Structure 1
């Protein structure tokens, strides 16, 4: 599974790396709402949450569906600006139908799937939005009802909330991270200009790749979801984030310019195993006999015949199980005389839990 952005015929000048204060504020709010996703930010989330005034904390809780489980599309601007005020001004120029449809991303199921219209004009979308909000809780349900009944006033309320967050904690945070993000964007832009898009994408994240064949060119985002969009005649924006890891967002909703948000320090983090690799490894160790074999292989190197004798199965059966484990990258092998010895790869197995978590959060 992956998100695919068709960029056939799109000149590289229309692909931009650029930081966004609004996108980073969305990440900061998500980290406050889900600190368990962001262990590296523990000190920041703890200190910031403790300093929030109760009134602001209550308002954040009321609106948190816009950045907790998923990310509202309007929090990933396609044309980032220098300041948060400029990006909020751009939002003010968006019509109510598009804004409300983008804001109500309140579960893992997007309201924009298959081009479903805004809940302001479509009864099916309205019922779905209210049902999803009710599942989140009475406060969120009441807020969504207010948004659908009074979109203009509620939009103004959201802007004031974001401005108050900026004043309370984000302005200082943005001053500290914007230099890092601007430097990252310049580096990726230079890679794009000098070495091409494929290398710039890989430098941004190992989960990003360029595919080119007779059908055209595509940016592929390795995620546990499926999505497809086009950038023909438009543009693609890639937004670095200091607060976003381990998440990798790809905005591919109908009618929206594609936006990819990637962790600025992805190259330092390492890992970022492809989703299929993680799936292959989990499936490999799910078999009870392979689990038992791993118990021995974790303690030292063994030959096929030794494992067959130890577990009372035939050598060909052991070979088939070892082949699955080896294909998944879980084993190392070495030849000692006429014997081939197999052993569990401890570094790969140690990372399996974190690779799985990163894959499902990506």
Structure 2
């Protein structure tokens, strides 16, 4: 499985490596919401959380699915504007968010509703009653907060834009402003290094330095990103953006939304994972994850909670088939389940999964 980016006609000057303060702020919010995804940032997360104003912490819960369950493309708004690049300041990038059309803004904000055609033309949510009902139904499975946000967004996009801008400005002041100067220098240095590789050795070498999971097939004029997802994009506007992140490890994100310019949002650091449990439990967990269908199910469950019916629809399986796979994952202690009203929600325990590599090494060296 992979995401492919067709680069036919892409000229060397169309590739840019540029840090983004808004993208990094989004990763900061993600790390604060999902510290289990980022074991190397536990000290930073603990320090920030201890200083966080309780009122702002409560407000973070209002729309945390924009950076927690998915990483919204709203944090990469330049990709939706032809010819745009990341801004040097957060204010410049928030201005770019304001330049997105209402349809672009709503579509990107509702990515958590499992938009079925991310890389293809989808129905316009604001003007298609059936699509509106669908996204509200999916939001309902995630609780009252997502439903309220979705209704408000569908009814009045401008007010949500204004709310989001004010909120991100507050987060910048409280969470990010003291961290960004240090990160900016690190990301700028990485961008200079990748730009020099592009100039001296070409796109293939630069992409290899981005991640071993990113490869270039020059004959096919295609970039392939090895991920547990399928997707396709094209550099139709003649631009490919590489955006480094320091807080984002281990996430290698690919923006391949239909009609937007593709973006590789890649980590520049690789903190080591922590260690723990028993060989018997480790064997059970690795066996549970060895099935390709369960791996694909885990990809979704790592980003959000899902019902059995939603997973069946996404993967083209029957509900009993999905239930059997979930049973194996739950027996291995990899998936947690809770009930919300008439919905039974499943989610991956990312802390347990994050420890598997170090657990395996400890097991074979014991």
TM normalised by structure 1 equals 0.72
CA 1:87–1:224: 2 relative to 1, 3 Å:
same
SS in structure 2 at match of 1:354: helix
Question: In the alignment, which residue of structure 2 is the partner of 1:301?
Answer: none
Q: Is the 8 A contact 2:139 2:147 kept in 1?
A: yes
1:114 Cα deviation after fit = 2.9
Displacement after TM superposition at 1:108 (Å) = 5.2
Tell me by how many angstroms 1:47 deviates.
Answer: 1.6
Structure 1 Cα separation of the partners of residues 127 and 216 of structure 2: 38
Q: Runs (4+) of structure 1 moved beyond 6 Å?
A: 282-287
CA RMSD between the two structures: 2.6
- Counterpart CA distance in 2 for 1:52 and 1:284 is 38
Task: Tell me the equivalent position of 1:65.
Answer: 65
- Give, in angstroms, the shift of residue 109 of structure 1: 4.7
Once the two structures are overlaid, the 10-residue window that deviates more, 76-85 or 11-20, is 76-85
- Determine if the alignment matches structure 1 residue 258 to structure 2 residue 262: yes
Mean Cα deviation higher: 54-63 or 71-80: 71-80
In structure 2, C-alpha distance between the alignment counterparts of 1:41 and 1:152, rounded to whole Å:
35
1:170 alignment counterpart:
176
Separation in 1, partners of 2:218, 2:287: 30
Rounded to whole Å, the distance in 2 between the matches of 1:72 and 1:356 is 32
- Pick closer, same or farther for the CA change 1:353–1:108 going to 2, 3 Å: farther
Q: Does 1:353 align with 2:356?
A: yes
Q: Is the aligned partner of 1:49 residue 2:49? A: yes
Distance 1:7 1:98, change over 3 A: same
Give the aligned partner of residue 229 of structure 1.
233
Q: Which residue of 1 aligns with 2:86?
A: 80
Separation (CA, whole Å) in 1 of partners of 2:104 and 2:181: 31
Q: Work out whether residues 204 and 215 of structure 2, in 8 Å CA contact, stay in contact via their aligned partners in 1.
A: yes
How many pairs were matched up? 280
1:179 matched to 2:185? The reply is yes
Asked which structure has the greater CA Rg, the reply is 1
Corresponding residue of 1:190: 196
Name stretches of at least 5 consecutive residues in structure 1 with no aligned partner: 271-281, 288-350, 358-362
- What is the CA-CA distance between 1:265 and the residue it aligns to? 2.3
Distance 1:237 1:37 in 2: 24
SS of the residue aligned with 2:265?
Answer: strand
Seen in structure 2, the aligned counterparts of structure 1 residues 260 and 355 have a Cα distance that, compared at 3 Å, is: farther
2:253 pairs, out of 233, 249, 253, with 249
Please give the alpha-carbon distance, in whole angstroms, between the structure 2 residues aligned to 1:134 and 1:356.
37
For 2:200 and 2:238, the matched residues in 1 are separated by 22
TM-score by length of structure 2 reads: 0.72
Does the 8 A contact of 1:111 with 1:125 survive in 2? no
1:54-203 correspondence to structure 2 within 5 Å:
54-76=54-76, 77-78=78-79, 79-107=85-113, 109=115, 112=118, 114-203=120-209
For residues 304-319 of structure 1, what are the structure 2 equivalents within 5 Å? none
15-24 vs 115-124, which moves further: 115-124
Say if 1:49 and 1:8 are closer, same or farther in 2 by CA, change over 3 A: same
**Offset, 1:191:** 0.3
**Residue number in structure 2 paired with 1:305:** none
Change (3 A) 1:2 1:269: farther
Aligned counterparts, 1:18-29, within 5 A = 18-29=18-29
Residue of structure 2 equivalent to 1:12: 12
| Partner secondary structure for residue 16 of structure 2 | strand
Task: State the Cα deviation string for residues 121-174 of structure 1 (Å, max 9, x = none).
Answer: 222321222122222211121111111111111110011010000011111111
Return closer, same or farther for 1:113/1:199 CA change in 2, 3 Å cut-off.
closer
Q: Is contact 2:66–2:72 with CA below 8 Å preserved after alignment? A: yes
Give SS of 1:112's match: coil
* CA deviation profile, 1:87-121 (whole Å, cap 9, x unmatched): 00111111111111111111555563531133212
8 Å contact 1:14–1:234 — kept in the other structure?
yes
Report the CA distance shift for 1:285/1:2 in structure 2 as closer, same or farther (over 3 A): closer
